Structure 1
């Protein structure tokens, strides 16, 4: 049975005119109302009547790039790399040639992530690239799996870059093409980074983790703790010397102060990413501690500023531009998917001046 505008209005508990305003985007509508209407559109699989309905099995020249925070260099690099591969005569879409890339800034919010995917589905996006770690919430994961299945069944190419594979809808196999996955080796990279510090002789090592409930945070923290456990350091000590925060300089600054309060004799601090590591270094300078003479500091990602820090930052390099450019080629059909649909993007340890043997 064909779903009508009135059906959507009834599900969303609004008038048909309000549904029309939301879908056409030509009239201001309260954010909560807009979200309710888009959720109803998604749940009912509503497709506009008229000219848009003739495109139901087609794709547009629109490509969506989802990022958590476009002001973060990590996501800015990846968004730019994906866009560099969009367009050209071999690209996909109804018209060929250049494509319109839309960067969707989710702020790491589950509801906004789903809303953007609903809007991209309604626009029959040619491709969608999701970057960075995923939220670890069973309800959200199930909703994302269902949404990505709808997109791929409608002909949209979906690529996950920096995310682990997702389960099929309701945990069951489906006949839709699975998204291509370029998964970062966050766990292996974090383990090698901490092994480097342990090999230098460090045993009192603090860790500034990212926000809880994200795959990147979990994987990097688990890799760090695997290395510590391998040399017999107690789990309780590891937990006491772990502080969670956002992936920001301010978070690193505050976390370093807290770690030093918990253990003034720390000889090394590992940060969840390079931006956090800069905040750690600032907090240490503020307390008269030298890097690395008094405390070694290490980061993750190898963002462009890392080599220019003073001292240059020991970190783990993820080839962000190269991986995201590959994601763009996969999204545009310029490159065949990896075997099994999943490829691991290796992480490389970059040893620089911010780490050294413990003093004394």
Structure 2
């Protein structure tokens, strides 16, 4: 028995008669627009405005940190490098805005397409890795202060920075090698970053891993548990954190919350849409699905741009020099730590006072070890 015909000249089983493909961007073989023209214009305008603003803010953050910091710490290294990663990611966004404004018609060639995807992957995954490093570093400092003493130095921080960039470079290179460049109807050139079929094959698995691993799996495994433990500590601890440590923890938590809300949640949303699209047995219009998928993925990309803009603003006050006005109060803590900088008048030179982790079994504050460097 032949399938009945519908008004659009397609058959009832048309949705199961051909291979379903989830792409970013989602381009159909038909003549329909993959995204609404007005929506595309709004997204592209937001990319232009927010991208250049975020780049300027991140540059200001790097310059201000370099100028105000006499003695670099691991925190300074991580925050400067996450700003660099944000800038690398943001460099690809105006190009993507032009591409979006052209209704996903790429005119710059295959190599430029691969370069854009490489830059996007390197910057995005680099920022993800450094956000995870910051959160893990803060959690270890709170729960394992004696262990953290062993790596709270610039040398160890540089090793972590180089390892993070090496991992990001590997992921970006894999994405570069897989970049999808396809021509539709001899006229429409599509530059894609994801291509997943509803049939299990090497191409599908590889593309899905490149999407899942950096965007969802690593931050979920490394970031979420540390974030939860820090939040539990803040809610349960009854004494005030020593010196500036409390404010530093709040800033880290705020930045991590921004990433979880804006970036990780949008990544999960894209994953759910991909799963629903590939497993759905209900026949839907390809044009409708294309608009849904493209709007959701563009929203996810825009959330990453927002996160790159908000991050430096959250940490803006962290690098302002302030005198160390008091010692750590260890009366109710098993361990205490304090790190602050005191900058006296020029005639006296620059003096840095650092209170290191010590055991506080007694209430005598004279037992605190103070290291002074001129």
TM-score bracket, shorter-length normalisation:
under 0.3
Query: How does the TM-score come out when normalised to structure 2?
Result: 0.25
Q: Which protein has the larger Cα radius of gyration, Structure 1 or Structure 2? A: 2
Considering fraction of residues, name the structure with more strand: 1
Q: Comparing both chains, which one has the higher relative contact order based on Cα–Cα distances under 8 Å and sequence gaps of 6 or more?
A: 2
Query: How does the TM-score come out when normalised to structure 1?
Result: 0.26
